[in-house]
Amino acid sequence: MAKVIYGGQSYECGEHSVLDCLTAQGVVVPSSCRSGICQTCLMRAVKGEVPERAQEGLKPTLAAQNYFLACSCFPQSDIEVVLPEAGLNRLAASVASVEYLNADILGIRLHPSRPLEYKAGQFINLFKDKATARSYSLASLPALDEPLFLNVRKVPGGLVSNWLFENLKAGDELEISEATGDCFYVPGNAGQNILLIATGTGLAPLYGIVRDALMNGHQGRLSLYHGSYDIGGFYLVDELKELVRLHDNFSYVPCVSEGAAPKGYVQGMVLDAALNDYPDLSGWRVFLCGNPNMVHAAKKQTFFAGASMREIFADPF
């Protein structure tokens, strides 16, 4: 008889779902439709096997992290589960280097004190002190880059970003959280076309995702659009141009929204430029990161252009 382990307690599950088993024991698991549609009862398995049916309808990035729907999970063997927000441990990290990527963006490289499991494009929380943290996306790849690589924009009046700009130096120690988030590349379907749209430091996760896809031998088109008000807002330009030179299926389009665009740059809004080039996104995978207004508009417009909601991954910040 399979057991469900939650919060250090073990419960006989019998023929019941994980949701029914836990709620019968007084554990509060948010739920609504109880039929695998609304996804309110999302949980994550930290040990044991998740039955396939319990992941039906979930985004592949969530399924890859062992998330499942408690209402449709009927375990065949013992399974240890947590609620989604649980289980992000903190760890120490030392600063390997700090450099300006442009006037307003800092590139921070960190050595975690123990190996960190993550996927390029996920984010960590970086702590200024015990109680103050901000999320930063991972531009690095576990398989290629040894230190973690973050891109931090200086937000006018921003507490943590300004503290990082003014104080951080190589050799400093700070605290970070484990990585989380569902904006990352899942191998498989190597021929699928992928559209990636970023503004500002929204490039950080997408730079990681593009390199992850290329490293995994992705064959479909990988089209990256990066938007900035002016030419000074771009960064990692040489690195991205080198990737274009090396990979026929990768393209990089920097878009300037205000004022004239020099040769090699597109004048206009990044979302318009992308949809102008690719008006039909049926069957495409889409990644959207950066300015919340852009990301929310892009979610709608890429969906109306044919991309399935399950294939649209977004981090607005």
Ligand X SMILES: Cc1cc2nc3c(=O)[nH]c(=O)nc-3n(C[C@H](O)[C@H](O)[C@H](O)COP(=O)(O)OP(=O)(O)OC[C@H]3O[C@@H](n4cnc5c(N)ncnc54)[C@H](O)[C@@H]3O)c2cc1C
Radius of gyration of the chain (CA): 21
Q: Which of 6, 123, 250, 278 binds ligand X (CB under 6 A)?
A: 123
**Between 96 and 261, CB nearer to ligand X:** 96
Q: Does 151 bind ligand X (CB under 6 A)?
A: yes
Q: Does 317 bind ligand X (CB under 6 A)?
A: yes
- Rounded distance between C-alpha atoms, residue 36 and residue 209, angstroms: 29
Q: Does 182 bind ligand X (CB under 6 A)?
A: no
Q: Does 122 bind ligand X (CB under 6 A)?
A: no
Residues 6+ apart with CB under 8 A from 155: 161, 162
By rule CB under 6 A, what string of x and - marks binding of each residue 258-297 to ligand X? ----------------------------------------
Q: Does 302 bind ligand X (CB under 6 A)?
A: no
**Between 39 and 135, CB nearer to ligand X:** 135
Helix (H), strand (E), coil (C) string for the chain:
CCEEEECCEEEECCCCCHHHHHHHCCCCCCCCCCCCCCCCCEEEEEECCCCHHHHCCCCHHHHHCCEEEHHHCCCCCCEEEECCCCCCCEEEEEEEEEEEEECCEEEEEEEECCCCCCCCCCEEEEECCCCCEEEEECCCCCCCCCCEEEEEECCCCCHHHHHHHHHCCCCCEEEEECCECCCCCCCCCCCCCEEEEEEHHHHHHHHHHHHHHHHCCCCCCEEEEEEECCHHHCCCHHHHHHHHHHCCCEEEEEEECCCCCCCCCEECCHHHHHHHHCCCCCCCEEEEEECHHHHHHHHHHHHHCCCCHHHEEEEEC
- The residue number with the shortest CB distance to ligand X is 158
**Between 157 and 262, CB nearer to ligand X:** 157
Tell me which stretch binds ligand X (CB under 6 A): 23-31, 152-160, 229-237, 268-276: 152-160
Q: How many residues bind ligand X (CB under 6 A)?
A: 20
**Between 123 and 252, CB nearer to ligand X:** 123
Q: Does 24 bind ligand X (CB under 6 A)?
A: no
10 Å CB burial of residue 40 (0-12, 13-18, 19+) is: middle
Nearest-approach distance from CB 257 to ligand X, in angstroms = 15
**Between 34 and 154, CB nearer to ligand X:** 154
Tell me which stretch binds ligand X (CB under 6 A): 76-84, 147-155, 189-197, 265-273: 147-155
Please report where in the chains the tokens 């531009």 appear, as a residue.
139
Q: For residue 288, report the phi and psi dihedrals to the nearest 5 degrees.
A: -130, 120
Q: Does 72 bind ligand X (CB under 6 A)?
A: no
**Between 102 and 189, CB nearer to ligand X:** 102
Q: Does 137 bind ligand X (CB under 6 A)?
A: yes
Q: Does 313 bind ligand X (CB under 6 A)?
A: no
By rule CB under 6 A, what string of x and - marks binding of each residue 157-176 to ligand X? xxxxxx--------------
**Between 136 and 313, CB nearer to ligand X:** 136
Q: Does 153 bind ligand X (CB under 6 A)?
A: yes
Q: Does 315 bind ligand X (CB under 6 A)?
A: yes
Q: Which residues bind ligand X (CB under 6 A)?
A: 123, 134-137, 151-153, 155, 157-162, 181, 201, 204, 315, 317
